[in-house]
Structure 1
Amino acid sequence: MRLTTGLFSAPLERLRGSLLYTFSGDRSGQVPAWQLELAQGGDPGHFGPDSAVWTVHGGMSTIPAGIRALLVQALHPGALAGVAEHSDYRADPFARLAGTIRWIFTVTYGSREQARQACEHVRRLHVPVRGEYTAGDGSRRRYSANDPGLSEWVHLAFTDAFLSSYEHFVGPVPAPPGTPEGVSGADAYVAEWAVAGELMGVQDPPRTRAALRQRLQDHDDDRQLAGGARVQEVVGFLKDPPLEANLKPGYRALFLAVVDSLPARHRELTGLRGTPAPALTRLMGRVTLRVIGRVLPRPGPAEQAARRRQDRLGTPGR
């Protein structure tokens, strides 16, 4: 018997509606126009069906990746100041989430021109995001959201979150066809997604998993990261966001699994503690993602649109 029939159909339909509302602000089930527009464009895009980026971004592990990315980004006081002082994430968190999803999927599945325009749009939104913050070493510094240093931290946090979440909840990233011997699927993902960093103004983004980890460590070694009251505000919000009641048990399972997957240093700065049973939280997280995967269509509409564009251009399976 299919999971979506009989006794389970009504609860799963409600779950589907809640998820659609959370990710897009729309319960109708209609595909957002911007996703359909990814079928347009005159080039195949930066990535294709065999890419590591499509593998990592095409599954349910992107959901806990979003939690991890927000936790890690908050550890840089400059990045956190921009969010705290220039966004309404508490008043309208789902609009911010929908905007982030749109950017990620447009760069992932759109044409090169669509990806460029999406990044330019975000960078224009960042122009007025500026001010001062107290760095991890106690010094006062000025920040602008488009500064290469802050853009780098956000890129590092995103890349680490998506890669680590895939590995934690799914397994090793398979190496794309034609990958040179000795280059892992994780290395391929970091190298491919460096394109997103460059489009956002990051200078020389890392292109291997080892380089990614080293750059993350460099920020801590340079005393750029910090915990504190503002971080605790973000942590408190992420522990209990304003989700609908039927989403809260699954979200709690994912949050605990994400915390257990964080490096000890990042847990220290966020003030979070791992559980005594990380294997259990990972299992519960995987079960939660499996249920969500039964509800949401795979491949998603953005990937389907990209495939239509690539088929029209005669460049499938790049």
Structure 2
Amino acid sequence: MGDPGLFTPNSVTWQMHGDPMMWVAGIRALYLQALHPRAVRDVMQNSDFRQDAWGRLLRTANFVGTITYGTTVAAERAGARVRKIHSMLGATDPETGERYGVDEPELLLWVHCAEIDSYLQVGRRSGFRLTDAEADKYISEQRAGARLVGLDPEAVPANRAQMAAYFEKVRPELACGPEARAVDDFLLRPPTHPLLVPAREVLWRRVAQLAYAALPPYAHELYGRPAPEPAAVTRQLRATGTLLRCIPARLRWRLPPKHIVRAMARLGPGSRPAPYKLGRELAILDEPGEAGRTITGGERGRWGTAG
């Protein structure tokens, strides 16, 4: 066995972050994060988001993959790079003209909570079955990732109740300003090659709209764009999750940057992320009475209704 890394193959994080719906969750997180005026101003003033938004999204995904499936050393190095970048940057408040650091705990905490809430909400609503205790465990595990970007783990929500209390507290500070509109515009119409515009309209826009629909109602109110009823959104998430999970994991995981493939090579085939490792009694996509059926590729577990 090699170094299991920050979370280890026995964690909820290890199993859930291998799910293809995490990409939809990542887009939801961007929508939600953009509603904090100071946090989104930091992104616009200190990054090349407008010129290289795709690159920024991929770098974020690579960071999450590294700290989830990489070695402890790789995770610590990734966190150190992020902290160093944050320490050198700042943003200007347009109303007061004052500069503030992008590594302020308040801003880091918002970005963290918006991201983790999105992963958890989209995962569960799309059919990745977690008990409430497992959902709490996932949130608690993510305090390790929060530490890497410079937060005090003790100041980060450790369960669903604390996460809900945090969002209730921060809601009065949220608003849909010009920067949030810019993020919204990008997510709906990202720049692409002219030949790919039809695919963007048919495929990407649907994904972005689904991610937007999965936001909490107060976020829809701030953006000023309605969304389907929550029950309809959950059905759409489950349908999308079912479709994406039909793509064999061994194919999905071989796409760059191959974090899971490298982790399995380091730790052995027993480290393969799989929902059944969360203690489920039924196999993935099982019908009643078919517990223990083997699925193609050896995956067993179950996808269930959102909790």
The TM-score bracket by the shorter chain reads: 0.7 to 0.9
Counterparts of 2:249 and 2:157 in 1: how far apart (Å)? 35
Paired residue type of 2:166? R
The structural deviation recorded for 1:307 is 2.4
Residue deviations 1:233-279, cap 9 Å, x none? 21111112135343542322222222222111111122231035435
RMSD: 2.9
The structural deviation recorded for 1:142 is 3.9
Cα 1:140–1:184 shift into 2, 3 Å: farther
The structural deviation recorded for 1:159 is 0.5
Cα 1:206–1:140 shift into 2, 3 Å: farther
Counterparts of 1:275 and 1:296 in 2: how far apart (Å)? 34
**What SS does the corresponding residue of 1:143 show, helix, strand or coil?**
strand
- 1:94 equivalent to 2:54? Answer yes
Residue 33 of structure 1 corresponds to none
Residue deviations 1:12-61, cap 9 Å, x none? xxxxxxxxxxxxxxxxxxxxxxxxxxx9xx63212222311012210111
Gaps of 5+ in 2: 278-307
Structure 1 length as normaliser, TM-score? 0.74
Choose from 159, 179, 186 the match for 1:208.
159
Choose from 227, 243, 246 the match for 2:176.
227
Residue 122 of structure 1 corresponds to 82
The structural deviation recorded for 1:290 is 4.3
**What SS does the corresponding residue of 1:131 show, helix, strand or coil?**
strand
**What SS does the corresponding residue of 1:211 show, helix, strand or coil?**
helix
Matched-pair contact (CA < 8 Å) for 2:253–2:260: yes
Counterparts of 1:90 and 1:140 in 2: how far apart (Å)? 23
Percent of pairs with identical residues: 30
Cα 1:43–1:305 shift into 2, 3 Å: same
Matched-pair contact (CA < 8 Å) for 2:125–2:234: no
Paired residue type of 2:124? E
Matched-pair contact (CA < 8 Å) for 1:267–1:273: yes
Residue 217 of structure 1 corresponds to 168
Counterparts of 2:272 and 2:188 in 1: how far apart (Å)? 41
Farther-moved stretch of structure 1 (234-243 vs 69-78): 234-243
Residue 186 of structure 2 corresponds to 237
Matched-pair contact (CA < 8 Å) for 1:78–1:143: no
Choose from 199, 202, 206 the match for 2:148.
199
Matched-pair contact (CA < 8 Å) for 2:127–2:238: no
Cα 1:270–1:142 shift into 2, 3 Å: farther
Cα 1:49–1:90 shift into 2, 3 Å: same
Choose from 303, 309, 313 the match for 2:260.
303
Residue deviations 1:157-181, cap 9 Å, x none? 111111111112223326xxxxxxx
Cα 1:98–1:79 shift into 2, 3 Å: same
Residue 68 of structure 2 corresponds to 108
Choose from 100, 120, 129 the match for 1:172.
129
Residue 104 of structure 2 corresponds to 147
Counterparts of 1:219 and 1:271 in 2: how far apart (Å)? 19
Paired residue type of 2:52? D
Structure 2 length as normaliser, TM-score? 0.76
Residue 160 of structure 1 corresponds to 117
Counterparts of 1:275 and 1:205 in 2: how far apart (Å)? 32
Paired residue type of 1:225? L
Choose from 211, 215, 219 the match for 1:266.
219
Choose from 27, 38, 47 the match for 1:67.
27
Matched-pair contact (CA < 8 Å) for 2:44–2:50: no
How many residue pairs get aligned? The number is 263
- 1:281 equivalent to 2:239? Answer no
Choose from 181, 185, 198 the match for 2:134.
185
Runs of 4+ in 1 over 6 A off after TM superposition: 314-318
Residue deviations 1:189-238, cap 9 Å, x none? 10111100011112221111221121122111xx3221122211211111
The structural deviation recorded for 1:69 is 0.8
Counterparts of 2:266 and 2:250 in 1: how far apart (Å)? 22
Paired residue type of 1:109? Y
**What SS does the corresponding residue of 1:184 show, helix, strand or coil?**
helix
Farther-moved stretch of structure 1 (51-60 vs 281-290): 281-290
The structural deviation recorded for 1:280 is 5.3
Farther-moved stretch of structure 1 (233-242 vs 248-257): 248-257
Cα 1:207–1:141 shift into 2, 3 Å: farther
Paired residue type of 2:135? A
The structural deviation recorded for 1:79 is 0.9
Gaps of 5+ in 1: 1-38, 175-182
